[in-house]
C-alpha cells in the first residue's frame, strides 16, 4: 500500500509493529538532534521524507507550516503528527516518547546531581550555564525577529509589547500582552500570507473541537500552593502560550515559578543553560524544573513523579492544539483576520522574550566585564562560525571556570 498517498483511506495499516518502528526512528532522532527546533526540522526532513519516505515533501511542508503557526513545541508537534500519519494514535504517542525520552532523562539526572555540587568550581560551572542562556536567548531573539517581525507593523507590535512589560512589570502580564498583540495584528497585519495545506489525517471536526475544548478547559485547573497539581497547572498554561518558538517558555515558566518561591533564578537559569547541551526538544527543561521543585528531601521516585508531571503538562496543550489545528487549518488559511491575529501574537512574543533577555537572563549572568566578553565571544562563535550549542556550553563553562580560578573581573 502506498504510504505517500494523500488519502486517509490509503494510509498504512495501524499495527504494533509500525508503532515500534516509529518509536525506534524517533528515539534515534531524540539521541542525535541537537540545535533547536529549526535544526530538528532539518533532521526530520532528511529522515522522514528523504530516507524513510513516510510522506512527500509537500505533505511535510504542510505539517511544518501548521506546527510553526500554532502554539507549542513545533518539532515535537511535527514528530507527533508524522507518527499519527504513519501508525495511528499509537504511532503518535510512540513518536513523542521516542523523541522526548533521551533529553528528559538527561535533564532529570542533571537535577539529581546539581545539589551535590558545591564550592568555587561548582559556582563557576553554574555561572557558565547562565552565560549560555544569555547567548542562546540572544540568538533566539535575532532569529525570531527575522521570521516573525519582517515588517514595520510587526516590529512595532514587538516593541510595544516589550514596553508594556517593562513599564508595568506585573506578574502574569504575558497573557494580556499576547491578546493585545493578536488584536493589533487584526488591524495591522492583514497581509499575512496563507500557508501550505497539511496532509489529511484521521482527525475529524468533532475530535478537533473536543481537543480544543479540552485544551481550553484545562487552562482553568489550579491547585493548592506548591502542590503537584499546582505545578502541573503552571507548566500546562506555559505550554499553551508558547507562540513562535520553544525559547518563549523561558519567561512564561519563570513568571510562574520564581516569584512564587518555587526556586530561585540561579537554579532556573542553570537548568536552562544545561538544556542547550541536550539533544531533542527544549521543553524537556521541564523535567529538570519538576525535579528541582520537588519537596525538600524527597526520594528519587518522588522527584521522578514531579519531573514527569511537569514534563507531561508542558507538552499536553501543544499536542491537543495540534489535533485541533488540523481540523481548522483550512479555515485559518482562508480567513485573513485569523492569520493576522496569529501574526500579531507571534510578534508580541518577540517583545516578551526581549524583556526576559534583559531580566533575569542578562541581569543575573552579566556581573562583570569578563562575563560580557565571554558571552559576546560565544555569541559570535554561535552565529558567525555556527558552532553547535553543545560546544558553546563547554566553552562558557570552561571560560567561567578559568576566570573564577584566576580571580579576574
| Per-residue pLDDT at 408 | 60
**Cell, residue 44:** 526530520
pLDDT recorded at residue 343: 86
Tell me the H-state helices in 149-204.
Answer: 152-168, 174-188
3-state secondary structure of 138: helix
- Report how far residue 13's alpha carbon sits from residue 373's, in angstroms, rounded to the nearest whole number: 56
Report the half-sphere exposure of 84 (CA within 13 A, side-chain side).
19
Q: What is the pLDDT of residue 34?
A: 76
**Confidence check: pLDDT of 12 > 80:** no
Measure the CA–CA gap between 285 and 266, rounded to whole angstroms.
Answer: 14
Neighbours of 328 (CB within 10 A): 17
Lowest mean pLDDT among 58-67, 223-232, 315-324: 58-67
Q: Give the pLDDT confidence of 94-124 residue by residue, as tens digits.
A: 999 999 999 999 999 999 988 777 678 888 9
Residue 156 has pLDDT above 70, yes or no: yes
CA atoms within 13 A on the CB side of 157: 31
DSSP 122-161: HHHHHHHHHHHHHHHHHHHHHHHHHHH--SHHHHHHHHHH
4: pLDDT strictly greater than 60: no
Q: List, for residues 172-220, the tens digit of each pLDDT value.
A: 688 789 889 999 999 999 887 766 666 667 787 888 889 999 999 999 9
Q: Are 72 and 241 in contact (CB under 8 A)?
A: no
What pLDDT score was predicted for residue 153? 95
Terminus-to-terminus CA distance in the chain, angstroms? 66
Identify whether 99 is preceded by a cis peptide bond (ω within 30 of 0). no
Half-sphere exposure of 103 (CA within 13 A, CB side): 31
- Residue for cell digits 567561567? 400
More confident residue, 65 or 269: 269
Residue 225 in 3-state DSSP? coil
**Sign of the torsion angle spanned by Cα atoms 96, 101, 106, 107:** positive
Total residues belonging to the chain: 409
Please name which of 233, 227, 232, 275 lies closest in space to residue 250, comparing C-alpha atoms. Answer: 275
Q: Grid coordinates 538532534 are at which residue?
A: 33
Joined together, the cell numbers standing for residue 184 give: 493589533
The residue with greater pLDDT, 283 or 339, is: 283
- State pTM to two decimals: 0.79
Contact by Cβ (8 Å): 198, 68: no
The neighbour count for residue 128, using CB atoms within 10 Å, is 27
Q: Where are the domains of the chain?
A: 10-101, 140-363
The pLDDT assigned to 65 comes to: 73
360: cis peptide before it, omega within 30°?
yes
* Helices vs strands, H then E, count in the chain: 17, 0
Measured CA to CA, the distance from residue 108 to residue 285 in angstroms comes to 9
Burial of residue 230 (CB within 10 Å: 0-12, 13-18, 19+) is middle
Task: Give the pLDDT of residue 21.
Answer: 95
CA distance 165 to 251: 11
The answer on pLDDT for 246 being more than 90 is: no
Give the single-character DSSP code of 358.
I
In this structure, are residues 199 and 6 in contact, taking their beta carbons and an 8 Å threshold? yes
Q: How far apart are CA 181 and CA 185, in angstroms?
A: 6
Residue 1 pLDDT: 34
Whole-angstrom distance, CA of residue 108 vs CA of residue 117 = 15
Mean predicted confidence (pLDDT) in 370-393: 92
pLDDT band at 349 (very low <50, low <70, confident <90, very high): confident
pLDDT level of residue 14 (50, 70, 90 thresholds): low
Within 221-281, residue ranges assigned H as helices are 228-240, 249-257, 265-275
Percent of the chain exceeding pLDDT 70 equals 90
DSSP at 193: P
Residue 169 confidence class, pLDDT cut points 50, 70, 90: confident
Report the pLDDT value the prediction gives residue 16, as an integer from 0 to 100.
79
Once rounded to an integer, what is the mean pLDDT over residues 124-148? 86
Task: Answer yes or no: is pLDDT of 3 > 50.
Answer: no
Report pLDDT digits (tens) over 292-346.
Answer: 999 988 999 999 999 999 999 999 999 999 998 877 766 666 678 888 887 898 8
Res 2: pLDDT: 36
CB 393 within 8 A of CB 110: no
Contact indicator for 367, 409 with CB cutoff of 8 Å: no
**pLDDT at res. 258:** 93
Q: What is the pLDDT of residue 198?
A: 66
| H-type alpha helices, 14-73 | 16-32, 37-44, 57-69
Amino acid at each position: 500500500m502506498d504510504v505517500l498517498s494523500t488519502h486517509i483511506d490509503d494510509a498504512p495499516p495501524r499495527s504494533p509493529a509500525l508503532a515500534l518502528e516509529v518509536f525506534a526512528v524517533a528515539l534515534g532522532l531524540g539521541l542525535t538532534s541537537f540545535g533547536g527546533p529549526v535544526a530538528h526540522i532539518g533532521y526530520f526532513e532528511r529522515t522522514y521524507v528523504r530516507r524513510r519516505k513516510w510522506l512527500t515533501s509537500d505533505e511535510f511542508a504542510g505539517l511544518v507550516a501548521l506546527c510553526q503557526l500554532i502554539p507549542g513545541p513545533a518539532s515535537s508537534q511535527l514528530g507527533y503528527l508524522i507518527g499519527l500519519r504513519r501508525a495511528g494514535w499509537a504511532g503518535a504517542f510512540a513518536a513523542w516518547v521516542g523523541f522526548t525520552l533521551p533529553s528528559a532523562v538527561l535533564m532529570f539526572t542533571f537535577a539529581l546531581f546539581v545539589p551535590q555540587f558545591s564550592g568555587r568550581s561548582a559556582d563557576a560551572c553554574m555561572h557558565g550555564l547562565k552565560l549560555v542562556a544569555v547567548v542562546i536567548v540572544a540568538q533566539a531573539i535575532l532569529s525570531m525577529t527575522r521570521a516573525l517581525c519582517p515588517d514595520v507593523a510587526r516590529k512595532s507590535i514587538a516593541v510595544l509589547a516589550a514596553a508594556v512589560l517593562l513599564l508595568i512589570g506585573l506578574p502574569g502580564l504575558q497573557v494580556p500582552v499576547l491578546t493585545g498583540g493578536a488584536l493589533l495584528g487584526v488591524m495591522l497585519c492583514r497581509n499575512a500570507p496563507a500557508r501550505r495545506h497539511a496532509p489529511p489525517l484521521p482527525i475529524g471536526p468533532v475530535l478537533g473541537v473536543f481537543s480544543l475544548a479540552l485544551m481550553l478547559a484545562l487552562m482553568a485547573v489550579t491547585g493548592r500552593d506548591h502542590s503537584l497539581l499546582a505545578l502541573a497547572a503552571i507548566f500546562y498554561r506555559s505550554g499553551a502560550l508558547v507562540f513562535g518558538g520553544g525559547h518563549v517558555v523561558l519567561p512564561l515558566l519563570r513568571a510562574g515559578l520564581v516569584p512564587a518561591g518555587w526556586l530561585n533564578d540561579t537554579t532556573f537559569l542553570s537548568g536552562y543553560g544545561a538544556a542547550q547541551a541536550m539533544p531533542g526538544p527544549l521543553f524537556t527543561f521541564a523535567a529538570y524544573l519538576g525535579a528541582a521543585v520537588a519537596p525538600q528531601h524527597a526520594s528519587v521516585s518522588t522527584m521522578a513523579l514531579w519531573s514527569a508531571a511537569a514534563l507531561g503538562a508542558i507538552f499536553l496543550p501543544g499536542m491537543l492544539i495540534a489535533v485541533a489545528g488540523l481540523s481548522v487549518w483550512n479555515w485559518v488559511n482562508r480567513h485573513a483576520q485569523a492569520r493576522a491575529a496569529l501574526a500579531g501574537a507571534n510578534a508580541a512574543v518577540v517583545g516578551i522574550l526581549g524583556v526576559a533577555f534583559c531580566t533575569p537572563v542578562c541581569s543575573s549572568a552579566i556581573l562583570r566585564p569578563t562575563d560580557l566578553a565571554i558571552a559576546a565571544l560565544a555569541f559570535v562563535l554561535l552565529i558567525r562560525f555556527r558552532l553547535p550549542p553543545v560546544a558553546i556550553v563547554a566553552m562558557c563553562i570552561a571560560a567561567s571556570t578559568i576566570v573564577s580560578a584566576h580571580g579576574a573581573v
